Amino acid sequence: MNPQISPPKIILDTDPGGDDAFALLWLISLVKQGFAELLAVTSVEGNVNAKLTFTNACKLLQLTGFPQIEVGRGVIKTQKEIADAAHIHGNDGLGNLAKTLPSPQKSYEKARYSDEIIIEKLTAFPGEITIIALGPLTNLASAETKFPGILKQAKEIIIMGGAFNVVGNVTPEAEFNIAYSLEASEIVLNSSNNLVILPLDVTRSLIFLPEMAENIAEVNPESPISQFILALAKAMTQTSLSYRETQGISGFLVHDAVTLAYLFYPETLQFRRGRVEVEVFGKWTKGKTICDRRHHAKMGANAWVAQQVNSADLLAAFVEDLKSLVEY
């Protein structure tokens, strides 16, 4: 890394979750290498309930040697459009492997709410922080509602969510993170013009294979991180095959990892600039993300939307960076 370039300041908003866990591990590997500064992890309910996502985030930070990083507790959404995704990620969110991880030192009851942390950090470092949102946008929307204009203080907001030219994963048209809280999604999409959206259109080609996990673990087979990666990859692969997510290929989709590729390996992605909105009223299309692709002036564009991904190069970088976590 060029010593004259400061590593990006990051808030990770996440609902671990299997692929969220792999994205967090990737980010921690980049922190360990000096390429990123993780200011906080703001957990959010989504894949599983808020207490479990908080606990899982704490356990993953404990596992990787970064227990000092603050973890926020998710803002609770009382009315949900869709159910959580425990049937995909396991009842504990981590393939029923959470019990194998170190006990967290942080208390859910004493933790600050995630929206409070977001407001505090963005106020302290205006224009400097990148928010990476891997789950429903409840925390971000709550921060914007409490402190109108606060999300404009982010350098950019990277969102894994939406489905534009492909089918959804919770309805024929809607993607989980967007559909989980349509009100929150609408608030965030209307909050600023500094959004980067990584939809299912690109994440569906990011199939993490069992041999990739084995390749990482070979560096240090005795590492607890290696053992967790192997076990979680196995659990997620079994679920992905049963839900036909990978066209019969033995592996699972690491949707959330693409957000880090945008920041650290941008050559793996291609984007379109446009105005992104979410359908909140449609009978059949509720939760669908829309981007105007007509050839005319794009006044009011709010987002860069990923169109293509070099999955081979992205996954190769992912695997090599994760090896830094398990080295002796």
**Which residue is associated with the tokens 């979750």?**
17
Question: Which pLDDT score, from 0 to 100, does residue 299 have?
Answer: 84
List the beta bridge partners of residue 235: none
**Interhelix angle 114-124/138-146, nearest 10 degrees:** 60
Q: Are 241 and 210 in contact (CB under 8 A)?
A: no
Instruction: Quote the longest CA-to-CA distance of the chain.
Output: 57
Closest by CA to 22, choosing from 128, 127, 91, 95, is: 95
Q: What pLDDT is attached to residue 75? A: 97
Q: What is the pLDDT of residue 77?
A: 79
Q: What is the pLDDT of residue 116?
A: 98
Question: Are the C-beta atoms of residues 118 and 150 closer than 8 Å to each other?
Answer: yes
pLDDT of amino acid 2: 54
- DSSP 8-state symbol, 255: G
For residue 292, what are the contacts with CB-CB under 8 A and spacing of at least 6?
Answer: 274, 275, 298
Half-sphere exposure of 65 (CA within 13 A, CB side): 11
Q: Which of 166, 158, 161 lies closest to 177, judged by CA? A: 161
Query: pTM value?
Result: 0.96
Would you say 135 and 52 are in contact if contact means Cβ atoms under 8 Å apart? Answer: no
Per-residue model confidence (pLDDT) at position 4: 58
Backbone angles phi, psi at 269, to 5 degrees: -130, 150
Residues of the chain with pLDDT under 50: 1, 3
The residue to which tokens 């990666």 are assigned: 229
Quote the CA–CA distance of 96 and 84 in Å, as a whole number: 15
326's CB contacts (< 8 A; 6+ apart) are 216, 217, 219, 220, 223, 225, 226, 229
| CA distances to 120, 285, 322 from 23, in Å | 24, 29, 10
Compute CA 276 distance to the chain's CA centroid, rounded to the nearest angstrom.
19
Give the pLDDT of residue 81: 73
Nearest to 14 by CA among 141, 133, 108: 133
273: helix, strand or coil: strand
Q: How far apart are CA 310 and CA 171, in angstroms?
A: 27
pLDDT tens profile 35-87: 999 999 999 999 999 999 999 999 999 999 999 999 999 999 767 778 888 88
